[in-house]
Amino acid sequence: MTTLLIDKIDSEIGEILVVSDGESLTSLDFSDYEPRMMRLLEKRYGSVNLVEKKNPQGFSDRIRAYLNGDYNSLDDIPVKTGGTPFQQQVWLALRTIPLGTVISYGELAAKLGKPTAYRAVGMTNSLNPVAIVLPCHRVIGTKASLTGYAGGLERKHWLLQHEGVDCHLAPIQSSRIKNSKVRTYAK
């Protein structure tokens, strides 16, 4: 059994789960998606034992700093994603998308030298184990459509707006974000 450290951060977009192996960030997800997170961790590690630890390796403080506007606080957090070589290539490429910008799945596939692999890039993006730090929220559909975010489109919109991306999209009717103060959007 693999022991991992977990911390929980209250935020404007819901409770965030931060999981570390003691050296690297291995998972970042939202508490309402904890079953998904656990499936992904168990696929990588087999049986896992999550031990609560406040601010492991200072990661929680850095995530809070990002949420409070220090956008560079996530830049050098070490991550351990697991996954296939292709998945790792996609996930690490997410860090090359500049803050305040978005890229389409097709553009990201082309950037990786695999222009026809946009669907595979989209599927890989949906399995990103380290949301926010590996900014999969910066990847959008064609024609600037806000699609596909494992944490919910409301959170994707909030994160993009937080980073200064101007989202011109139609309103979403439901919001799962705790104490939401943001307008939420969908395609």
Annotated catalytic residues are 136
Strands (DSSP E) contained in the chain are 2-9, 16-20, 25-30, 48-52, 103-104, 139-140, 170-171, 185-186
Gap between the Cα atoms of 6 and 16, Å rounded: 10
Gap between the Cα atoms of 167 and 162, Å rounded: 11
Question: Which of these, 121, 113, 117, lies nearest to 94 by C-alpha position?
Answer: 121
> Which residue in this structure is represented by tokens 């850095």?
62
Gap between the Cα atoms of 155 and 170, Å rounded: 15
Gap between the Cα atoms of 180 and 161, Å rounded: 13
Tally of residues, the chain: 187
